[in-house]
Structure 1
Amino acid sequence: MPGTDKLRIDIERFWSTIERSAEIGPGRPGGLSRLALTDADRQMRDQFVTWCREAGLAVRIDGIGNIFARRAGTDDTLPPVVMGSHLDTQINGGRFDGIAGVLGGLEVCRTLDVLGHHTHRPIEIVNWTNEEGARFSPPMVGSGCFVGTYALDWAQGRRDDDGQSIGEELARIGYLGEMEAEPHAFDAYFEFHIEQGYYLDRDGMQVGVVTGGFPSTGMLVEFKGETAHTGPWPMERRRNALLAGARLLVETDEIGWAYASGGGKATAARLIAWPNKPGILSDWAQAVCDVRHPDPETALAMAERLRRAVGEAAARSGCTAEILDTWNWGGRIFSEELIGSVRETSLGLGYRTQDILSQAGHDAYFVARHAPTTMIFAPCKGGITHNNAELCTREDLEPGLNVLLNAVVARADR
C-alpha cells in the first residue's frame, strides 16, 4: 500500500467533475460528442473556467482558444509547472479521453488549496484547443500553434465540413482570446491521460510511465479529376477522384498489415468527394491517412511507402494528387529527468508501474518541443477509447492522479 507520508487527491471530488463533464455534449449512450468549438464545447469551457475561478486561479485565453489557469507560486516570477490536456471529444467519444488530464490538473490545485500548500513555482493548467481534429484537421492544432509549428493565421483559417473556420467559431463562442498564441516559458509539462490501449489493463498495472510515442506520420491528400457520365464515358478516359482516394486508403491498410507483426499500424481515416452522387464521376476528393510504428526507422519506411502510394493512386485513376498537409509526431521526445521523476514517484507510492510507449497522438508531443515534458497513463477497461463504451473507474484513475500530484509538487517546489 502507498505510504502515509505522500499527498493524496480527493477522488470523490475529482469524480464529481468527471460526472458533470459527462452531462455536457452527450453522444451515444454513456459517451460524449463534444466536438471542438461547438456549443457543447463552449458550455464545457465555461464550466471549466468557472471551476478555475472558484479555485482562485487566474484565467487567460490565447488567440487559438487555449485556456491557461494559473495558481501563483511563492516566487511568481519563475516559469510555471504546467499540467494539461483537452476537453473536446471525438464524434463518438468517451468521458475520460483528455478530460481526465484537464480535470486532474484542477484536482491537484484544489488539493493544494485544502492542504494550504503554496508551491515555490507557479502551477498552470491548460486546456488545448482541437486536440482531436474531429471537426478541424489536423489534430492538436492548439498545442501546435502554441509552440510555433503552425502559424496562427493558418490555424485560425482551418475549416470544418460546413465551411466554418476555427477563428470564426472561436469568436462565436467567446473564446478568441487576446493573449498571444505563442510560447510563454514552461518549467515542465505533465500530461495525465488514459492509456488508450489495453496493456496496463491486461497486465494489472496501475500507472504507465510514458517513455515516448510511436513515431507517426499523417497526411491530408487532395485528388482532382473530371466529372463525366458513368454510363457512356469509356474506362480509359475516366478521371475519377473518388476512386483515387479509395485506392490510396486501401493501400494504406495494406501498409499497416505489412508491418503489423512488429507493432505497426496504418489507418484509412477519412474520404470525402464531390459530387459523390450516382450517375456521375467525382472530380474532387480528399483522403486522410496515417502510419505509425514503435521503431523510428520502420516508421520512416512506412511513411515513404505511403507517399509513393499517393502518386500511384492518382496515376492509376487518371487524376492529379497533392499532399495538402503532413503531420509528424512521436519518438523519444520526453524528458528523461521527468520520466525518472514519474517512475520514482509511482514506485514510492507503492503502485504497480510499467514503462510504456504511447500509440496515440497527444498535445504533449508538441509541447515537448518547447519544454521538458512527460506523460502519466492510467489504465482503461480493455483499451477501448474513441467509443462511447470507453470506461475507467475511480480505482483506475486514482493512482495516476496521486502520481501527478506528487510529481508536480516536487517539481514546483524546487
Structure 2
Amino acid sequence: MALKHATPMLDELEKGPWPSFVSDVKRMAPKSAMCEDWLGVMELSYREKEGHWKHGGIVGVLGYGGGIIGRYCDRPDLFPAIAHFHTVRVNQPASKYYTTEVLRKLCDLWEPRGSGLTNMHGSTGDIVLLGTTTDNLEPLFYELTHEMGMDLGGSGSNLRTPEGCLGKSRCEWSCIDTQDLIYDLTMEYQDALHRPMFPYKFKFKASGCPCDCVAAIARSDCSIIGTWRDKIRIDQEAVRAYVGGELVPHAGAGGTEKRAFDINAEVIDLCPTKCMEWDGKNLKIWDEDCTRCMHCIRVMPRALRPGLDTGATILVGAKAPILEGAQMSSVVIPFMKMEPPYGEFKEFVEKVWDWWMENGKNRERLGELIQRLSLREFLKACDLTPDARMVNTPRFNPYIFYDPAEVPGGWEHDAVAFRQRHQA
C-alpha cells in the first residue's frame, strides 16, 4: 500500500545497518492515519530544518496534574490526523517485569485510542504511549486503571516515576531489594507523583550494587546505590584457579575461552586506590581503602563477592541535560541500612524536599540549588555532618574546605602511611 506522503529524506534512515524507527512507523501507517501524518510532518521537519510540534494547552485526566504531555502540530491543515498528538506516560512495573499477556492487553487498549506507537521505555522508565487526542484521554485512563490496574507516571514539576534495576530477582551482587524499595516509594509518594508541587522534576533511581546498571549517579536527583561496609568475601582457591587459567575471567578480549590470566595487570594495577596485593598464593585486600568500584568482583565473580553488612550509599544532585552538560550526583550519606519500611531514608527525603521547595527557583533542579547555595547549606538543612567521603578531593572541592591540621592524623600522614604499607 502506497503511503500518502512522500518521504525521501526519512527513507535514507532505513538504509543503514541498524533497525530504523522509520520502518516501524511505516508498518503501522496502513492502519493508522496518525502514523501516516506523523511520517509527513517528520519529512517536512527534515526538509525545512524546523520542528513542527508545539507544547501548548493544559491537558490531562481528572484529579491528576501529571502523566500527560500535551503535543500539537502547528500544521493541522497539512496533517489533520495529528492536530493533537498527546503523549501518555504509564508507570512501569518495578524492574520492568511484564507478562506477554499484559503487553498484549496494553497494545490492544492503545491501538484504538491512539496512534499505536509505543516507546519502551522513556529515560525515566515509563511506558510511553505516543500520540492520542484530547477526547481519548479520559476513556484511555479509565481502561488503563480499571481494566489493567496500571497507573500514570510522572511529568511536569513533580516526582517522576521511581526506577530501579533488577535487584535481587536476578543479580547475585545486589545489596538491597530494589524492587521492594521502588514499589514502596511509588506507593508512599503518590501525591508528589501525580500532583506537581516542586520547583521542577525530581527523580529517584535505585541500583542494587555500585555497578549502577540504571545509571542513577548520572541521571537522578536522589541516587540509591547498594553497597556494603564490611569486608569483600574472598575465595582464595577460586582466585588461584583464575590465575592458573582454570576459570575464565570476565575481562579483556579473551571471550569465554580459558586463557592465561595476569591478575596484576588486569586487577591489581587497575584498582583505583591500590588496596589489593597478590603474593603469588593469596589475594590481600585492605578493605578500609576500598571504594567499592566493583572492578575486581566483575573480573573474578567466582572468587570475590560483596560483603554481608549491606545497605546503600545516598547521593543527590544529578541531571543529564542536553544543552548544559551532565552533572553527576554527590555522596551525602556514605552508608544507610535500607530495610522496610525505609523510615530513615524517607525522613531524609522529606527534609530535602522541604529545603528545596523553600529555596528553589522555578525549574531549578536540586543539584543546581546545591550549587547555588552550597553543599554546606544543604547538609545543615538535612541535619547531616560533613564527611570527607562526600567529596572526591576534599582540599580542592569548592563546597567544603578541610584543613589538614584539623583532621585527625592529617591527610599527609595518611598518604605516607598508605605508601609505606604498600612498599613493605
Q: If the length of structure 1 is used for normalisation, what is the TM-score?
A: 0.30
Say which structure is richer in strand. Answer: 1
Structure number with bigger Rg: 2
Comparing both chains, which one has the higher relative contact order based on Cα–Cα distances under 8 Å and sequence gaps of 6 or more? 1
Q: If the length of structure 2 is used for normalisation, what is the TM-score?
A: 0.30
